[in-house]
Amino acid sequence: MTVTALAFMGGTFDPIHNGHLRTALEIQQWLGIDRVALMPSKVPVHRAQPERSPQQRLDMLQRAVEDEPALYADAREILSSKPSYTVLTLEALRREFGAELPICMIMGMDAYLSLPTWDRWQELLQLAHIVVVKRPGWVYKPGDLISRVTRNHEVSDKQRLLSSAAGHVIFHELTPLGISATQIRNLIGDGHSPRYLIPDGVWDYIQQQQLYGCSEIKGKR
Protein backbone atom coordinates (compact mmCIF):
# COMPACT_ATOMS: atom_id res chain seq x y z
CA MET A 1 0.00 0.00 0.00
CA THR A 2 1.41 3.41 -0.97
CA VAL A 3 0.95 5.78 1.92
CA THR A 4 0.05 9.29 0.72
CA ALA A 5 -0.57 10.74 4.15
CA LEU A 6 -0.48 9.45 7.67
CA ALA A 7 -3.20 10.34 10.17
CA PHE A 8 -3.38 9.23 13.75
CA MET A 9 -5.28 9.92 16.92
CA GLY A 10 -3.45 9.47 20.21
CA GLY A 11 -5.10 9.00 23.57
CA THR A 12 -5.42 7.02 26.72
CA PHE A 13 -8.38 5.03 25.37
CA ASP A 14 -9.42 3.92 28.85
CA PRO A 15 -11.62 2.55 27.36
CA ILE A 16 -11.97 3.28 23.66
CA HIS A 17 -15.54 4.41 22.88
CA ASN A 18 -17.74 5.29 19.93
CA GLY A 19 -16.76 8.98 20.17
CA HIS A 20 -13.14 8.02 19.34
CA LEU A 21 -14.14 5.54 16.65
CA ARG A 22 -16.68 7.72 14.89
CA THR A 23 -14.23 10.66 14.93
CA ALA A 24 -11.42 8.60 13.41
CA LEU A 25 -13.67 7.14 10.73
CA GLU A 26 -15.21 10.47 9.74
CA ILE A 27 -11.76 12.08 9.46
CA GLN A 28 -10.51 9.17 7.33
CA GLN A 29 -13.41 9.69 4.93
CA TRP A 30 -13.19 13.47 4.98
CA LEU A 31 -9.45 13.45 4.21
CA GLY A 32 -9.94 10.69 1.63
CA ILE A 33 -7.05 8.63 2.97
CA ASP A 34 -6.86 4.84 3.31
CA ARG A 35 -6.62 4.43 7.05
CA VAL A 36 -6.41 6.26 10.36
CA ALA A 37 -4.36 4.91 13.25
CA LEU A 38 -5.45 4.95 16.87
CA MET A 39 -2.37 5.16 19.06
CA PRO A 40 -2.72 4.42 22.78
CA SER A 41 -0.20 6.07 25.07
CA LYS A 42 1.79 3.79 27.32
CA VAL A 43 2.16 6.13 30.23
CA PRO A 44 0.11 9.28 29.69
CA VAL A 45 2.24 12.27 30.60
CA HIS A 46 -0.50 14.89 30.89
CA ARG A 47 -2.94 13.14 33.20
CA ALA A 48 -3.39 10.60 36.00
CA GLN A 49 -2.17 7.09 35.28
CA PRO A 50 -4.97 4.74 34.27
CA GLU A 51 -5.44 1.60 36.35
CA ARG A 52 -5.87 -0.49 33.25
CA SER A 53 -2.56 -1.71 31.87
CA PRO A 54 -1.28 -0.54 28.48
CA GLN A 55 -1.90 -4.08 27.20
CA GLN A 56 -5.53 -4.03 28.39
CA ARG A 57 -6.16 -0.66 26.74
CA LEU A 58 -4.53 -1.93 23.55
CA ASP A 59 -6.57 -5.17 23.67
CA MET A 60 -9.79 -3.14 23.89
CA LEU A 61 -8.68 -0.91 21.02
CA GLN A 62 -7.79 -3.90 18.83
CA ARG A 63 -11.18 -5.46 19.47
CA ALA A 64 -12.88 -2.18 18.58
CA VAL A 65 -11.22 -1.89 15.15
CA GLU A 66 -10.95 -5.54 14.11
CA ASP A 67 -13.91 -5.34 11.68
CA GLU A 68 -13.08 -1.90 10.28
CA PRO A 69 -10.32 -1.82 7.64
CA ALA A 70 -10.20 2.00 7.69
CA LEU A 71 -8.97 2.01 11.31
CA TYR A 72 -6.03 0.26 12.94
CA ALA A 73 -4.19 0.17 16.23
CA ASP A 74 -0.65 1.51 16.27
CA ALA A 75 1.10 0.17 19.37
CA ARG A 76 4.37 2.08 18.93
CA GLU A 77 4.03 4.17 22.10
CA ILE A 78 3.11 1.12 24.16
CA LEU A 79 6.06 -0.82 22.77
CA SER A 80 8.49 2.08 23.16
CA SER A 81 10.92 2.21 26.06
CA LYS A 82 10.39 5.99 26.27
CA PRO A 83 7.53 7.93 27.89
CA SER A 84 4.62 8.81 25.61
CA TYR A 85 5.63 12.32 24.63
CA THR A 86 3.94 13.17 21.33
CA VAL A 87 6.98 15.06 20.10
CA LEU A 88 9.10 11.88 20.44
CA THR A 89 6.46 9.87 18.58
CA LEU A 90 6.41 12.42 15.77
CA GLU A 91 10.20 12.38 15.54
CA ALA A 92 10.08 8.59 15.28
CA LEU A 93 7.42 8.81 12.54
CA ARG A 94 9.59 11.29 10.64
CA ARG A 95 12.59 8.97 10.89
CA GLU A 96 10.44 6.14 9.55
CA PHE A 97 8.50 7.96 6.82
CA GLY A 98 10.81 10.85 5.92
CA ALA A 99 10.38 14.61 5.91
CA GLU A 100 7.91 14.91 3.02
CA LEU A 101 4.95 12.75 4.01
CA PRO A 102 1.93 14.71 5.30
CA ILE A 103 1.34 13.66 8.92
CA CYS A 104 -1.97 14.66 10.53
CA MET A 105 -2.49 14.47 14.24
CA ILE A 106 -6.19 14.25 15.09
CA MET A 107 -7.33 15.55 18.46
CA GLY A 108 -10.46 16.74 20.18
CA MET A 109 -10.86 20.38 21.15
CA ASP A 110 -10.12 19.53 24.80
CA ALA A 111 -6.73 18.14 23.85
CA TYR A 112 -5.98 21.06 21.51
CA LEU A 113 -6.73 23.60 24.25
CA SER A 114 -4.21 21.87 26.49
CA LEU A 115 -1.47 21.90 23.85
CA PRO A 116 0.69 24.60 25.54
CA THR A 117 1.23 22.18 28.45
CA TRP A 118 2.70 19.47 26.19
CA ASP A 119 6.43 18.81 26.11
CA ARG A 120 8.21 20.88 23.40
CA TRP A 121 4.77 21.85 22.11
CA GLN A 122 6.07 24.60 19.83
CA GLU A 123 7.85 21.94 17.78
CA LEU A 124 4.76 19.86 17.14
CA LEU A 125 3.62 21.89 14.14
CA GLN A 126 7.07 21.60 12.58
CA LEU A 127 6.54 17.85 12.56
CA ALA A 128 2.83 17.45 11.75
CA HIS A 129 -0.48 19.08 10.97
CA ILE A 130 -3.22 19.15 13.59
CA VAL A 131 -6.82 18.30 12.81
CA VAL A 132 -8.98 19.62 15.64
CA VAL A 133 -12.36 18.05 16.15
CA LYS A 134 -15.02 20.05 17.94
CA ARG A 135 -16.29 18.27 21.04
CA PRO A 136 -19.54 19.02 22.85
CA GLY A 137 -18.82 21.13 25.92
CA TRP A 138 -15.37 22.36 24.83
CA VAL A 139 -15.14 25.84 23.41
CA TYR A 140 -12.27 27.67 21.90
CA LYS A 141 -11.52 30.97 23.66
CA PRO A 142 -10.03 33.52 21.25
CA GLY A 143 -7.99 35.15 24.04
CA ASP A 144 -5.99 32.01 24.91
CA LEU A 145 -2.32 31.46 24.11
CA ILE A 146 -3.44 28.78 21.72
CA SER A 147 -5.35 31.41 19.73
CA ARG A 148 -2.05 32.95 18.55
CA VAL A 149 -0.89 29.57 17.32
CA THR A 150 -4.20 29.07 15.58
CA ARG A 151 -4.03 32.48 13.90
CA ASN A 152 -0.60 31.70 12.48
CA HIS A 153 -1.34 28.17 11.32
CA GLU A 154 -5.06 27.78 10.60
CA VAL A 155 -6.21 26.78 7.12
CA SER A 156 -9.71 25.92 5.92
CA ASP A 157 -8.86 23.84 2.86
CA LYS A 158 -7.96 20.23 3.64
CA GLN A 159 -5.92 20.02 0.42
CA ARG A 160 -3.38 22.31 2.11
CA LEU A 161 -2.84 19.51 4.64
CA LEU A 162 -2.46 16.80 2.05
CA SER A 163 -0.05 18.79 -0.11
CA SER A 164 2.48 19.65 2.60
CA ALA A 165 4.22 17.71 5.34
CA ALA A 166 3.38 19.77 8.44
CA GLY A 167 2.52 23.17 9.86
CA HIS A 168 -1.24 23.64 9.47
CA VAL A 169 -4.15 23.52 11.90
CA ILE A 170 -7.61 22.75 10.59
CA PHE A 171 -10.90 22.61 12.51
CA HIS A 172 -13.44 20.05 11.53
CA GLU A 173 -16.99 19.69 12.71
CA LEU A 174 -18.43 16.22 12.74
CA THR A 175 -21.25 14.24 14.24
CA PRO A 176 -21.10 15.40 17.85
CA LEU A 177 -20.98 12.45 20.21
CA GLY A 178 -20.79 13.68 23.78
CA ILE A 179 -19.25 10.45 24.97
CA SER A 180 -16.16 10.34 27.17
CA ALA A 181 -14.16 7.53 28.70
CA THR A 182 -14.83 9.14 32.09
CA GLN A 183 -18.56 8.72 31.51
CA ILE A 184 -18.07 5.05 30.53
CA ARG A 185 -15.95 4.37 33.63
CA ASN A 186 -18.57 6.07 35.83
CA LEU A 187 -21.47 4.18 34.26
CA ILE A 188 -19.77 0.83 34.79
CA GLY A 189 -18.61 1.81 38.26
CA ASP A 190 -22.23 2.68 39.15
CA GLY A 191 -23.40 -0.73 37.93
CA HIS A 192 -24.93 0.48 34.65
CA SER A 193 -24.39 -0.88 31.17
CA PRO A 194 -22.33 1.20 28.70
CA ARG A 195 -23.81 -0.72 25.77
CA TYR A 196 -24.20 1.31 22.51
CA LEU A 197 -21.61 3.81 23.73
CA ILE A 198 -18.76 1.35 23.17
CA PRO A 199 -18.46 -1.59 20.73
CA ASP A 200 -19.92 -4.86 22.02
CA GLY A 201 -16.51 -6.56 21.68
CA VAL A 202 -15.00 -4.00 24.06
CA TRP A 203 -17.85 -4.46 26.54
CA ASP A 204 -17.35 -8.26 26.39
CA TYR A 205 -13.64 -7.79 27.14
CA ILE A 206 -14.37 -5.41 30.04
CA GLN A 207 -16.67 -8.00 31.56
CA GLN A 208 -14.23 -10.88 31.02
CA GLN A 209 -11.41 -8.92 32.64
CA GLN A 210 -13.72 -7.35 35.25
CA LEU A 211 -12.43 -3.87 34.52
CA TYR A 212 -13.82 -0.63 35.97
CA GLY A 213 -15.52 -2.58 38.77
CA CYS A 214 -17.99 -4.22 36.40
CA SER A 215 -18.36 -7.54 38.21
CA GLU A 216 -21.52 -6.37 39.96
CA ILE A 217 -23.43 -5.30 36.84
CA LYS A 218 -26.72 -7.05 36.42
CA GLY A 219 -28.37 -7.87 33.11
CA LYS A 220 -25.19 -8.16 31.09
CA ARG A 221 -25.59 -9.01 27.46
By the criterion CB under 6 A, which residues form the site for ligand ATP? 9, 11-14, 19-20, 23, 107-108, 110-111, 133, 135, 177, 179-182
Length of the chain: 221
Q: Judged by CB, which is closer to ligand ATP: 25, or 165?
A: 25
Q: Judged by CB, which is closer to ligand ATP: 13, or 205?
A: 13
Q: Judged by CB, which is closer to ligand ATP: 163, or 193?
A: 193
Cα separation, 65 vs 30, whole angstroms:
19
Cα separation, 41 vs 8, whole angstroms:
12
Instruction: Tally Cβ neighbours within 10 Å of residue 213.
Output: 13
Report the nearest approach of ligand ATP to the CB of residue 171 (Å).
12
Burial 148-167 (b: 16+ CB within 10 A, else e): ebbeeeeeeebeebbeebbb
Q: Judged by CB, which is closer to ligand ATP: 5, or 184?
A: 184
Q: Judged by CB, which is closer to ligand ATP: 153, or 172?
A: 172
Report the nearest approach of ligand ATP to the CB of residue 133 (Å).
5
Residue nearest ligand ATP by beta-carbon distance: 108
Report the nearest approach of ligand ATP to the CB of residue 9 (Å).
6
Start-to-end C-alpha separation, the chain: 39
Residue pair 122/104 in contact by the 8 Å Cβ criterion: no
Report the nearest approach of ligand ATP to the CB of residue 69 (Å).
21
Report the nearest approach of ligand ATP to the CB of residue 14 (Å).
6
Tell me the DSSP string of 12-44. --TT--HHHHHHHHHHHHHHT-S-EEEEE-SS-
Q: Judged by CB, which is closer to ligand ATP: 23, or 158?
A: 23
Report the nearest approach of ligand ATP to the CB of residue 24 (Å).
9
Cα separation, 177 vs 97, whole angstroms:
33
